[in-house]
Amino acid sequence: MFGNRITLFKLFGFEVKIDISWLILAVLITFTLARGFFPHYYKGLPLLTYWWMGLSGALGFFASIIFHEFWHSFVARRYGLPMKGITLFIFGGVAEMGDEPPNAKTEFLMAIAGPLSSIFLGFGFFGINLLIPRSDPLLPMKGVIGYLAYINLILAAFNLLPAFPLDGGRILRSAIWKWTDNIRWATRVASWTGSFFGIALMILGILSIFQGNFIGGIWFFVIGMFVKNAAQISYQQVLLRNVLAGKRVGYFTKLDPVFVPPSISIEQFVEEYFYKYHFKMFPVVEDTNIVGCINIAQVKNIPRNEWNQHTVRELAKKCLPENTISPEADTLKALSLMKQNGNTKLMVVEDRKLIGIITLKDILQYFSARMDLEEYSGK
Ligand SMILES: [Zn+2]
């Protein structure tokens, strides 16, 4: 979901990062506030003041999102869920969970914590706004605080839409989960409503564009698309987690992997291994111990007429840790390694011994076989 992320700071043990896409949102908000919102509601101030108000408003919005995500993270950590940190991106923020909540009550509490904190903040700013007189020197400050009151309440309202994986959708899921005791069914209903709200926002966006609200319309459309996609992806992830829960890498490991002895020449390696198996990379194994890895890019560095003068041992390099996994590891960890590095195979290694290979294809085949069998049998 994220491209380039920059770590901003660490607070209470949570890392706060921004995705590059967030900068677009920051510029857009500053601009809209400085050129539209503030001049409309607070007339007659100097142009530079509007820009200052716009910038402080955008920073305040940014802090409000972090506050909201922090409360999700606090409650999640309180119930023992590992939290990876908070990332801000073009559609707001996410508190990244290392795992799904273990039960309906935890999900409910961690989901509602965010919107409640935003409502609290919104009313807090509203109170301060009322205390500040509408007189000249304090007017810009009153304006910014008034905006923050309004934006926090919007943030709470938007997140309370019953569209999974938004907070409201998680609350809905926890209720159905509690009621039916079936997380898969609960997730399915919650992501249906997520897709429904996503499509509704997209239609609203198109209608707005036809009514002349071009920027607002596009914004609604894109957010709708995001909610719809997120609902579908979250559902698939929950299914995958559910089906693969407790399955270790060893279960999916294919034994007798293809490996290359270090003593053979490059010529032999190309003829007998590369042309035969077409893998991108081969493990090099001596006396059952894995001594390195060799790939075809390394071979390309050697002129063809020297292939029989060099051995695999000379060319092999240390295997990258992202290409190997322990048989004891969780299969979900293997999947996330594959996803991170675009690999469809990993070497299964224990105490420097190559045990076998785990492939994406085998995991997915198991997944679809399980889904076939369990489609109508509830959990
Ligand atoms: Zn939230």
End-to-end alpha carbon distance in the chain: 28
The predicted structure's pLDDT at residue 204 = 92
The predicted structure's pLDDT at residue 346 = 87
Q: What is this structure's pTM?
A: 0.70
Q: How far apart are CA 193 and CA 234, in angstroms?
A: 13
Q: How far apart are CA 355 and CA 326, in angstroms?
A: 9
Query: 72 CA to middle of ligand 1, Å?
Result: 7
**Could you tell me the two tokens for 284?**
């090099």
Query: Is 72 assigned to a binding site?
Result: yes
Residue type, 121: L
Q: How far apart are CA 75 and CA 343, in angstroms?
A: 35
CA 44 to chain centre: 44
pLDDT digits (tens, 9 = 90+) for 151-194: 999 989 988 988 887 889 889 999 998 998 888 888 888 889 98
Query: 289 by DSSP, 3-state: which?
Result: strand
Query: 40 CA to middle of ligand 1, Å?
Result: 30
- Give the residue, 172 or 247, on which the prediction is more confident: 172
Query: 168 CA to middle of ligand 1, Å?
Result: 8
Query: 16 by DSSP, 3-state: which?
Result: strand
Query: 364 CA to middle of ligand 1, Å?
Result: 31
For the ranges 56-60, 146-150, 240-244, 351-355, the lowest mean pLDDT is seen at 240-244
Query: 172 CA to middle of ligand 1, Å?
Result: 14
Domains within the chain, CATH numbers bracketed: 5-244 (no CATH), 249-369 (3.10.580.10)
Query: Is 372 assigned to a binding site?
Result: no
Query: Is residue 299's pLDDT more than 90?
Result: no
Residues designated as active site: 69
- Give the residue, 273 or 243, on which the prediction is more confident: 273
pLDDT digits (tens, 9 = 90+) for 216-238: 788 888 888 888 888 888 787 77
Query: Is 167 assigned to a binding site?
Result: yes
Q: Which residues surround ligand 1, an ion (CB under 5 A)?
A: 114, 159, 167
Percent of the residues in the chain that have a pLDDT greater than 70, as a whole number? 95
Query: 158 CA to middle of ligand 1, Å?
Result: 9
- Give the residue, 147 or 279, on which the prediction is more confident: 147
**Mean pLDDT over the full length of the chain:** 84
